[in-house]
Amino acid sequence: MTATLTPLFERVDTQSVTTTLSLVHDQWMERTARLLAPATQPRANFWERWGAVRFLCDQFAARFRLERELAESLAPRLTPSSRARLAAAAAAVERTRGEFMAVGRRRGTAAEVALLARRLLDHTRRWCAALEIATAGTLAEDLSEESRTLLGQLQMAAGLGL
């Protein structure tokens, strides 16, 4: 395991932040789409929806919190426009996640949950794109210690398939 993770950490220092984030985000979006896929079906049963709710409540929430902490740590380097776009994107993700968890716990809501799952994927992609664009031209070596640590944690999460 250590042998696998070490190169990931090393890449934090040598890649542009945008490149690192795009790789991390590709993995995250693929995993999120895969785990939400059963819930995107209009005929998903209660337990399939429940599984998606648990994923959003635990793993997705933790991962998105890490993303937001990274964005917050980068704030002094970001333009006002980038910060505003990120804030709007984050609000959309959090609100849709909350709606999904509220509706997904109820019976007879498969159609609504299917639509919310697709919306959540769209909003999450928008967040990822906004963060990658906001960090364009930034090198990892220019980041603060906190940002580098958070970026490393995101890479580690991606390396572990979380």
Residues that bind other proteins (CB under 8 A): 75, 79-81, 83-85, 87-89, 91-92, 95-96, 99, 102-103, 106, 109, 111-112, 115-116, 119, 122, 126
Q: Please, what is the minimum distance in Å from the beta carbon of residue 98 to other proteins?
A: 9
Q: Please, what is the minimum distance in Å from the beta carbon of residue 79 to other proteins?
A: 6
Query: How far apart are the C-alpha atoms of 150 and 102, rounded to whole Å?
Result: 30
Quick one: how far is CA 23 from the chain centroid?
12
Q: Which is nearer to other proteins, 11 or 119 (CB)?
A: 119
Q: Please, what is the minimum distance in Å from the beta carbon of residue 15 to other proteins?
A: 26
Q: Which is nearer to other proteins, 23 or 115 (CB)?
A: 115
Query: How far apart are the C-alpha atoms of 48 and 72, rounded to whole Å?
Result: 34
Q: Please, what is the minimum distance in Å from the beta carbon of residue 91 to other proteins?
A: 5
H or E segment to which residue 151 belongs: helix 145-159
Q: Which is nearer to other proteins, 111 or 133 (CB)?
A: 111
In this structure, are residues 103 and 109 in contact, taking their beta carbons and an 8 Å threshold?
yes
Q: Which is nearer to other proteins, 103 or 139 (CB)?
A: 103
Query: How far apart are the C-alpha atoms of 34 and 31, rounded to whole Å?
Result: 5
Q: Which is nearer to other proteins, 111 or 160 (CB)?
A: 111
Query: How far apart are the C-alpha atoms of 154 and 64, rounded to whole Å?
Result: 10
Q: Please, what is the minimum distance in Å from the beta carbon of residue 135 to other proteins?
A: 16
Q: 113: how many CB neighbours lie within 10 A of its CB?
A: 26
Residue where the block lists tokens 């819930």: 39
